[in-house]
Amino acid sequence: MKDTVIVDEKQLIAKEKANNPSLLRTIWREITHDKMALGSLIILIIILLSAYLSPLYIDQEAQHRVNFLNVWKAPSAEHWLGTDDGGRDVFGQLMLGTRNSFTIGFMVTLIAGLLGLTYGLIAGFYGGKIDNIMMRILDFLMVLPSTMFIIVFVVIVPNYTVVTFVLIMSAFAWFGKARLIRSRALQERELDYINASRTLGTPSLKIMFFEMFPNLSSLVIVNMTLTLAGNIGVETGLTFLGFGLPSGTPSLGTLISFARTPDIVQNKWWVWLPAALLILVMMLCINYIGQAVKRASDARQRLA
Amino acid sequence: MAKKQFLLLASLMLVLSVFLAACSGKDDKKTGEKEPAKGNDKGSEETKGEDAEDASAGLDFPLSVSNTAEPIEDGEMTVALVSDTPFEGTLNRVFYSGRPDAEIMTYFDEDLLELDGDYLITNNGAAEYTVSDDNKTITIKIKDGVKWHDGEPVKASDLLYAYELLGHPDYTGTRYTFTIENVEGMPAYHAGETKEISGIKVSEDEKEISITYTEATPSILSGVWSVPVPRHYVGDVMKGDLTIEELEASDKIRVSPIGFGPYKVAKIVPGESVLFERYDDYYKGKPALKSVVLKVVNPVAIIEAVKKGDVDLATIPADQYLKAKEIDNIELLAKVDLAYTYIGFKLGKWDKEKKENVTDPNAKLADKRVRQAMWYAMDNETIGKELYHGLRFPATTLIIPVFASFHDASIKTPSYDPEKAKALLDEAGFKDVDGDGFREDASGNEFVLNFASMSGGETAEPIAQFYIQNWADVGIKVQLTDGRLHEFNSFYDMVEADDPKIDIYQGAWGTGSDPDPEGLYGRTAAYNYTRYTSEKNDELLKAGTSEKAFDTEYRKDIYNQWQELMVEDVPVAPTVYRYALEAANKRVVNYSIEPGTENYRPWKWGVSE
């Protein structure tokens, strides 16, 4: 008798799980049911694989070498996308650049996401005065002209590397996220399971990160996917202004920033156009995937 | 706390300027050079020479425009100030520092004594001079009818005022140089002991001024300071109306300066443009143009601006020469520039108290063999030929070939030879101990040099990378200071302040037209950014401007020795000499870039349509 009850429970749980598949599974189902998203995913994977595996077929040392006998060469069999002002192969730079730009965008999204999540959860969970104070601080931070501040930090930081760049960027990218998370957390804290957990004396941090957070995860994933696309662009913009990456670090922004003189825009398209197109394609891909993820998180919108 | 706030403020300001500059593009090397001390920068005996001609073989440019039509009445001209940074706007010869400011001043301000093609003073300008028999005293007589833009006559005491400012104990600028210090009584005045300079006498009628020097030097004929400062207009520091600091910041220098030149300042948009109007009472006659607009144009946009006819005159950055050649509504003029680019090695510090350079024997680059090796390692020929299409060519000594009688072409200077560089480094004990492909210093410590270079022009970044690569090829690890190129103003701020983040830097000098290098390499020269000093150097520089040096042969010999010393000690490694390229719209008439000719003077310039 006892045994059958247990079996029944297990079956029930299994049944429940099948009806309520995990978020990842839903996302996957959603993507496979949307041709645009699936296509985007495949293209993105191809781009990223070829970029991240580029050290296998590109000699980085040779790639950085300046060769003045070979400047501004148009695309040819030897240089698929021609060469730049220092005689360096543009295709190689494009690959290495994609790698750098994407890594940076990804890291920034991740770090900023973590910061925003923590801040928003704390503010939303406690509510009241703490929320009020934390939000006023956030208000203050949000009115700061962040681009200017990023540039200030880039200039005064003593040892400027990709890591410091990522940290500086992340320090200014989490404000909006904190807002978003906090508003959802405020709703969530009124729910019974939180109250129950509190009554049982569970530590606040545990409630926040192990009970409340999983219920917000879909929101977080959607938001991060969509900002990832934007963050690749942010790095590009700053590099264009001359405050992006340390010089000698190829990035998509460096390539695009060649398009500053009329002559290059008109006659030397091979330097900047591929990078610009690549960014466009990557952003579109990420966006389509992001849309699918967003739908997956909301049962009413699902296609699958 | 206060210090912290100041730092924050300072960094903010810096960043703001950098940001604006970066928004508008990149600096060009040509604007990226500092003007040296004015007192020293005018020519000397036989400055023009055949060498300059030889160097231009294959590249043949005119010095004057070919349009010979009559200039139209009341024409208007737009001149480009090619720079990617806003101009500073310190519009006074005593205080300014940037080349853009100097360019602005040529329109409204002048030397009293005009220079000829050899950069020697003449009697054709607003004043006449006579030199006493012992070569120690020069008397300058201002001609009648020379008036400031506000109608006041230019007085001898205005010129005296310039000397009073230059020698003033509170003067912080860089033009208190040998020619100024050499005036009798100047050191005492400079130390604050007296209120008067005993060597300068002004006549009763304020027309004549005589300046007596402690030592007779050939620099009198080329380096005498003859730019007056309008005492009645800007205010008198001597009477305590205002302090030097206030004067330097005053609107009468920055917003509404006056001079006695052919055009007067009508409007200044700070950092951006200057509108000049004809000054009808100009002492030589009525200037040809009704108005001149001088505006800052970014080097990257200059080709388009010239093509469209937006600007009539513009200097063309060498990296855009090929594009400029294709434009058919302009003429290209060029001459060998009084300038060179160089790599400087930081060897010490500037002592603010004593106002002199102090060389640090323990500097990273104290071993001259390492410096020589770095010179040998640089492939300047490729840069000049491939990147600048021959508009730049490898430099040899620190006296440019334009000074044909002093430039010593026979000295063997390092040229690209990596093997030789490696041998020198081995000899100096710089060997790769830990096997990472880079050498360690003589005591086995890691040896990394920080290289500061200016952003600017399309080629700044690849050139910096190219040198870094050249040095890496011989095993010297060099990295960019802060990992990036620096904008012109912040670059020179850092170099000037002996920022410890800089071990080597790439700079450029306008040498001025006096071959005397004292202002750039002397012990007391603030512009001696490498902070190199040596007794031999002091001795030679002194001999070069001594009384004996009136004898050209003697002076030549001294300067040859000096050039040799510089090649041996390498405080700086000159990289390239250059042509200065200028584009003039075909409607421009009476325009020439040949110094000393009539059409070289702004008041003659006109337009034909």
Q: Chain B residues with CB inside 8 Å of A241's CB?
A: 19, 22-23
Give mean pLDDT, residues B348-359. Answer: 88
Q: Is a pLDDT exceeding 60 seen at residue B55?
A: no
Asked if the C-beta of A246 comes within 8 angstroms of chain B's C-beta atoms, the answer is: yes
For A246-290, the pLDDT digits (tens) are: 767 788 888 888 887 777 888 889 999 999 999 999 989 998 998
Q: Rounded mean pLDDT of B32-36? A: 44
Residue partners of A269: CB distance under 8 A and separation at least 6: none
What residue in A sits closest to B462 (Cα-Cα)? A86
pLDDT of B42 over the 50 cut: no
Domain of A70?
A: 21-296
Q: 135-174 in A: which are within 8 Å (CB) of B?
A: 148, 151-152, 155-156, 158-161
- Packing angle of the helix pair A213-241, A175-189 (nearest 10 deg): 170
State both tokens at B580. 């200065």
From A222's Cα to the closest Cα of chain B, the distance in A is: 34
Q: Kindly determine whether residue A66 and residue B484, on different chains, have CB atoms separated by under 8 Å.
A: no
Q: Could you tell me if residue A304 is inside a domain? A: no
Indicate if the pLDDT at residue A20 is higher than 80.
Answer: no
| 8 A C-beta contact, residue A207 and residue A194 | yes
For residue B85, the model assigns a pLDDT of 83
What's the pLDDT at A236?
75
* CA distance linking residue A233 with residue A237, whole number of Å: 6
pLDDT of residue B266: 93
**Distance linking the first and last C-alpha atoms of chain B:** 62
Confidence of residue B59 (pLDDT cuts 50, 70, 90): low
Asked if A85's CB is within 8 angstroms of B462's CB, the reply is yes
- Condensed to tens digits (0 to 9), the pLDDT of residues B537-569 reads 999 988 888 878 878 788 889 999 999 999 999
The whole-number pLDDT of residue B256 equals 92
Q: Distance from B23 to chain A by nearest Cα, in Å?
A: 6
> Which amino acid is it at A170?
S
Q: Please give the pLDDT value at position B209.
A: 93
CA distance A253 to A249: 10
The rounded mean pLDDT for chain B is 84
Distance of alpha carbon A293 from alpha carbon A23, whole angstroms: 9
Q: Name the pLDDT band for B24 (thresholds 50, 70, 90).
A: very low
Determine whether the interchain pair A152/B12 forms a contact, defined as Cβ–Cβ distance below 8 Å. Answer: yes
pLDDT above 60 for B37: no
- How far off is chain A from B95, nearest CA to CA, in Å? 28
C-alpha B226/C-alpha B398 separation (Å) is 27
Least Cα distance to A121 among A203, A193, A185 occurs for: A185
Q: Does B483 touch chain A (CB under 8 A)?
A: yes
Q: Is the ipTM of this complex over 0.90?
A: no
Q: What is the pLDDT of residue B403?
A: 79
Q: Which run of H or of E encompasses B582?
A: strand B572-585
Tokens 């003429």, residue? B331
Of the pLDDT bands very low, low, confident and very high (cuts 50, 70, 90), residue B166 is: very high
B180-218 pLDDT per residue, tens = 888 999 999 999 899 999 999 999 888 999 999 988 888
The 3-class secondary structure across B329-366, one letter per residue, is CEEEEEEEEEEEEEEEECCEEEECCCCEEEECCCCCCC
pLDDT of residue B50: 34
When scoring A156, A241, A267 by the number of chain B Cβ atoms within 10 A, the one with the most, hence best to mutate, is A156
Beta-carbon separation of A86 and B461 below 8 A: yes
Q: Which residues does chain A have within 8 Å of residue B301's beta carbon, measured at their own beta carbons? A: 261-262
Tens-digit pLDDT profile for residues B394-450? 998 988 887 777 888 888 888 899 999 999 999 998 988 888 889 988 888 889 999
B12–chain A Cβ distance below 8 A for any pair: yes
- Residue A4 confidence class, pLDDT cut points 50, 70, 90: low
Helices (H), B135-202: 156-167, 178-181, 186-190
Q: Which residue in B has a C-alpha nearest to residue A150's C-alpha?
A: B15
Q: Cα separation of A232 and A226, whole Å?
A: 11
A71 CB neighbours in chain B (<8 A) are 386-387, 462
In this structure, the dihedral spanned by the alpha carbons of residues B458, B464, B466 and B467, taken in order and rounded to 10 degrees, is 150
Q: Is A2 a domain residue?
A: no
**Distances from the Cα of B155 to the Cα of A300, B161, B263, angstroms:** 89, 10, 19
Question: pLDDT confidence of B38, banded at 50, 70, 90?
Answer: very low
Both tokens assigned to B39: 């007192």
pLDDT at residue number A6: 61
* Mean pLDDT over each residue of chain A, to the nearest integer: 86
- What gap in Å lies between CA A160 and CA A151, rounded to an integer? 12
Q: Which residues of B touch A161 (CB under 8 A)?
A: 483
**Two tokens, residue B153:** 């006559």
Q: Are B62 and B138 in contact (CB under 8 A)?
A: no
- Look at B11 and A152 and tell me if their CB atoms are within 8 Å: yes
Best of B23, B303, B319, B458 to mutate (most A CBs within 10 Å, chain A):
B458
Bridge partners, residue B478, by sequence? B449
A72-107 pLDDT tens trace: 888 988 888 888 888 889 999 999 989 988 999 999
- Minimal CA separation from A68 to chain B, in Å: 6
Question: B68 pLDDT band (50/70/90 cuts)?
Answer: confident
Q: How much of chain A, in percent, has pLDDT values that exceed 70?
A: 95
Judging contacts by C-beta atoms under 8 Å, the chain A residues touching residue B462 are 66, 68, 71, 85-87
Contact B480 A246 (CB under 8 A): yes
Task: Give kind and range of the element (H or E) at residue B140.
Answer: strand B137-142
Distances (CA, A) of B61 to A278, B320, B331, B394: 44, 16, 9, 20
Residues of B in contact with A267 (CB under 8 A): none
Reported as half-sphere exposure (CB side, CA atoms, 13 A), residue B190 has a value of 20
- Residue B367 token pair: 């071993």
Name the least confident of B3-17, B68-82, B558-572.
Answer: B3-17
Query: Is the Cβ of B66 closer than 8 Å to some Cβ of chain A?
Result: no
How much is the average pLDDT of A135-161? Answer: 87
Question: Beta partners for B392?
Answer: B578
Written as six digits, the tokens of B139 are: 């008397």
Q: What is the mean pLDDT of residues B262-276?
A: 93
What is the distance in angstroms between the Cα of B446 and the nearest Cα belonging to chain A? Answer: 17
Q: What's the DSSP call for residue B113?
A: S
Report the amino acid identity of residue B516: D
Does residue A197 sit within a domain?
A: yes
Q: Please tell me the pTM assigned to this model.
A: 0.70
| pLDDT value for A5 | 57
**Cβ–Cβ contact A247 with B under 8 A:** yes
CATH classification of the domain holding A69 = 1.10.3720.10
Residue contact B15–A148, C-beta within 8 A: yes
Q: How far apart are CA B566 and CA B537, in angstroms?
A: 8
Q: How many CB atoms lie within 10 A of CB B353?
A: 5
Could you please report the per-residue DSSP string of B449-498?
Answer: EEEE-B--TTTHHHHHHHHHHHHHHTT-EEEEGGGS-B-HHHHHHHHHTT
Task: Residue B328: name the closest of B77, B59, B586 by CA.
Answer: B586
Q: Show residues of chain B in contact with A248, CB under 8 Å.
A: 465, 480, 483
The two three-digit tokens of residue B329, written as one number: 């509504």
Q: Kindly report the nearest CA distance between residue A238 and chain B, in angstroms.
A: 10
What is the model's pLDDT at position A2? 52
Confidence class of residue B49 from pLDDT cuts 50, 70 and 90? very low
- Decide if A288 is inside a domain: yes
Contact call for A148 and B19, based on CB within 8 A: yes
* Confidence label for B120 from pLDDT (cuts 50, 70 and 90): confident
A14 is a domain residue: no
Is B436:B64 a contact under the CB 8 Å cutoff?
Answer: no
Residue reference for tokens 């005993």: B198
The pLDDT assigned to B19 comes to: 38
CB pair distance less than 8 Å for B461 and A85: yes
Q: What is the pLDDT of residue A3?
A: 55
Angle at B455 between CA B451 and CA B457, to 5 degrees: 130
Cβ within 8 Å, pair B15-A263: no
pLDDT digits 0-9 by tens, A176-200: 999 999 999 999 889 999 999 999 9
Mean pLDDT value across residues A130-146? 93
pLDDT at residue number A65: 83
- Cβ contacts (< 8 Å) between B305 and chain A: which residues? none
Distance (Å) from the alpha carbon of A242 to chain B's nearest alpha carbon? 6
**How far, in Å, CA of A225 to CA of A231, rounded?**
10
Q: How far apart are CA B97 and CA B510, in angstroms?
A: 12
Domains in chain B with CATH codes:
337-580 (3.10.105.10)
Predicted pLDDT of residue B16:
40
Mean pLDDT lowest for which of A66-70, B18-22, B402-406? B18-22
Which pLDDT tens digit goes with each residue over B92-118? 999 988 888 989 999 999 999 998 877
Alpha carbon distance B316, B318 (integer Å): 6
The alpha carbon of B411 is separated from its chain's Cα centroid by a whole number of angstroms, namely: 25
Q: Which residues of B touch A146 (CB under 8 A)?
A: none
**Interface A-B: count of C-beta contacts within 8 A:** 83
> Which of B11, B13, B18, B388 has the highest number of chain A CBs within 10 A, making it the mutation to test binding with A?
B18
CB of A52 within 8 Å of a chain B CB? The answer is: no
- Closest A-chain CA to B320: A263
Which pLDDT value is given to residue A241? 76
Angle between helices A175-189 and A90-126 (to 10 degrees): 40
Cβ neighbours around A31 below 10 Å, total? 23
Task: Identify the pLDDT of residue B25.
Answer: 34
**Sign of the dihedral defined by the CA atoms of residues B455, B458, B460, B464, in that order:** positive
Give the span between the Cα atoms of B233 and B259, in whole angstroms. Answer: 10
- Residue A243, min C-alpha distance to chain B (Å): 8
Q: From the CA atom positions of chain B, what is the Rg in Å?
A: 24
Contacts of B465 in chain A (CB under 8 A): 64, 66, 86, 247-248
Contact B482 A160 (CB under 8 A): yes
Q: What is the pLDDT of residues B210-261, one digit of tens each?
A: 999 988 888 788 778 999 999 999 999 888 888 999 998 899 999 999 999 9
Q: Which of B25, B323, B386 sits opposite A260 (nearest CB)?
A: B25
Q: What count of other Cβ atoms lies within 10 Å of the Cβ of residue B377?
A: 26
User: How many independent structural domains does chain A possess?
Assistant: 1
Hey, CA dihedral for B103, B107, B112, B114, is it positive or negative? Answer: positive
Q: B454-513: per-residue pLDDT in tens?
A: 887 667 888 998 999 999 999 999 988 887 788 888 888 889 889 888 999 999 887 777
According to the model, what pLDDT value does residue B387 have?
A: 82
The angle subtended at Cα B604 by Cα B599 and Cα B609, nearest 5°, is 110
Q: What per-residue confidence (pLDDT) applies to A18? A: 67
The token duo for B233 is 């207009």
- Strand stretches in B346-484, DSSP E: 348-351, 356-359, 392-394, 448-452, 477-480
How many beta carbons lie within 10 A of that of residue B103, not counting itself?
19
- Chain B nearest-CA distance from A293, in A, is 37
Chain B residue whose CA is closest to A237: B23
pLDDT at B587: 92
CA dist., res. B443 & res. A29, Å (int): 65
For testing contact with chain B, the best of A153, A164, A247, A251 (most B CBs within 10 A): A247
Cα–Cα distance for residue pair B244/B218, rounded to 1 Å: 31
Predicted pLDDT of residue B520 = 86
